[in-house]
Structure 1
C-alpha cells in the first residue's frame, strides 16, 4: 500500500479510505445538482400562482411515490449490487432535470408539469435511496463509521451552502443554465459511483426469505428496536411540524422582499450552520450522553424556527436558519449513527427504506403541511406554531422512549 502523502495524512481517517472518498465525491456532485435545481423549481412554482399551497404540493408529489415503492426498494437494496442501483438513480435524475430544462424553455407556466416531474423524482429517490444510505456502513470499517457519517454530512452541507446560492445566481442570469449544469452534475455523480468497490459481504449471501416476510423485515426490526424507532420518529415529527424550508420562496419574496439570489442565501444559511457542526463532529465525534443531546438539539431546532417565523429582517432570518442547521446536524448525526450501528448489514437496505419513508414524510410531506398551514392561517403563524410543537416534543419524548434518552456512547450501540 502506498505511503500516504502529508496532505492525505491530515484528512479525516474516513477520507483516507479510497472507496469512501469516491462515494463522497459522487454524493458531493449530486448534492450540488439537487440544491441548485431545488432553488430554481421553488422559484418557478411560486411564480405561477403566487401560492404557498403550490409549494406544498410539490413536496407531496415527491413523497407519495417514494413511500409507495419503499418496501420493494429496500428488498432490492439487500439483494442487488447497491453501487449499480445508486448509479442508475443518478442517470434517472439527470433525465428528470433535462425534462425540467425543456419545461423552462417552453415558458414554465403550467403547474402540472412540475408536479409530474416531482412525482418522478420521488419515485427514483424511493428506489435508489435505500441502497445509497446503506453504502457507507457497508464499505467503511466499523471503527471509522461515526466519523465517516460526519464527513458525509460535511460534504452534503458544503454542497448545500454553495449549491443554492449558485443556483439562484445562475437562475437570475438565465434559468436554463441551472438545469443544464444539473444534468451534467448528475451524470458525473453516476460515473464516480461506478468506481466504488463495495465488498462482497457474507451477511447478504443466502436464500431469499419469503416475499412478504422479506418486505416486512425492516418494519419488524425497527418496531423491536426502541432506540431506532424513537430516533427516526422524533426526526419525523420535529421536521414535519418545525421545518419551514418549503416556505422559503414565500418568505424571500413576500416577507423579506428579496430576489432569487437572496433565496439562495437563505437556503445556504442552513447549510453554513450544518457545515460548522459537521466539521466539529468530524474532528471530535460525540462522547457521552448522546440520547440526551439529541433531545436538547431538537428543542433548540424548535426555538430557531420560532425566531425565523417572527423575523422580518433578512440578517436575523438567515441567522435563525443557520442555528437550525447547526443543531439539526447534531440530530441527524446521532440518528444516522444509531440506525447504522444498530442494524445488521443484511437488513440495512430494508431498514433504510423504512427510515427513508420517515425522512420523506418529514421533508416532502412536511413541505405539504407547511404550505397547507400557511394557506390556512398565514406563513408566520404556521412557522411559529410548528416551532412551538417541536419544543414540546423534545420535552416529552424521553417519556415515550426512555431507552433512547439513556443512550450514552454511540460507539457502544450494537446490532439488535
Structure 2
C-alpha cells in the first residue's frame, strides 16, 4: 500500500520505518526542515520502562493541587478558557480511580517493555549510534514519604515483570558515585538495570536517513492543512509544500503522528482526541569534569528532573507546564533547573553556558497513547505518548505497522479501533 505518515518525530519516523519494512510505499510529511525538530529534539533521553507510570493517581492529583500558584513548581497549571483543557482535567480526575490506575499502568508498561525490545533489535540491526548507555536508571529520593510510596510502586512494577529494585542510600551512591556529594540528603532509591538512555534526536535523524536510503520519501518544510474525507475514508491529504503551493496527496492509508497537533487536524472530522500539550523544559550542559558527572541515568523525584549523559554533555529535563501551545521559555523555570543541577553536581558542568529548550508533550489524561484505527477505514493514530514518546516510540511504530498491514500486534495493549493482541 501507499501510506502517508504525518509527523517525523521519533514516533512518526519509527512508524515509517516499520511500515516500509513491511513492504509498504511510505511518504512522511513534516513541517520542520528535518526529523526530530520539535518534541523529539531535546527531551530527557530516558528509555524508562521502570517508571512508565500514569500521572493520574490519587497521589498525583494531590501534587497537582499542592503545586497551584507556584511559578517554579515541577507541575505548573495555568487554567484557561479552553474547553479542551477543562475536558482533559475532568477526565484526568476520573483516571485517578484505583481500578483505572491499575489498568492504565498495565497497558503502559506492556507497550514500554515491547518498545525497548524493539529498539534493541533495531539498534543491533542498523548499528545506529546515538550516545546510548545501557547502565540502567536510578531514581533517587530525598523525602521519606515519597520513598515509602515508591517502595509500593516498585513492588507493583515487579509484579508486572519490571525488575525495579529498591536500594538504600549507600547502594545508590555505589551505583552512581557522582551522588556522593549529596549522600546525607538521600533516603533511598530504586534502580532498574535494564533501563537505558540515549539521544533521541540523533537516533531519529539517523533512522530517517537510513529510511530515506531504503526508499522512504521524507517531505520536509511541508504543512498539512486538512484531511479530505469521503465515504468513510480519507481520500487525500491537503498540504502547503516548501514552495508555498497548495497540493493534495493521495494514499491508501494515513497515519497521524503529530503529537499535540493531532487534535486540531482531526477535530473537523469529528475525532475529538483528549490530548493536551504539556510544556516540558530541558537544559544541556557541557561537561567539564567527566568524573563528577553522572553516567547512570538519574531521576530526581523531589524536583521531577531526569539526567542523561550524552557523551560530553549532560541533558537535564523535566517539569511540566499546562499552559496551551506556547513554547516560550520561562526564566524562573530555567533557573530552577540549573540551581538544582549545580546543587547536585557542583563541579561537573559549565553552568554559565546552558542550552535551554522547551517542547510540547502530547499528554492524555491516562498517559495511555492513541494507537490504532479510527472510524475512517484508512486513517490510523499513533499519538498522545506524553513524556514516553522515546520510551514507546519503536514499539508503537512497530505495532501501527502491523495494524495497517492487517496483522495482530505482538503486544498486549488496548489499541483504538478494537485491535487487541
Question: TM-score scaled by structure 2?
Answer: 0.26
Question: TM-score scaled by structure 1?
Answer: 0.26
Which has a greater percent of strand? 2
Which has a greater percent of helix? 1
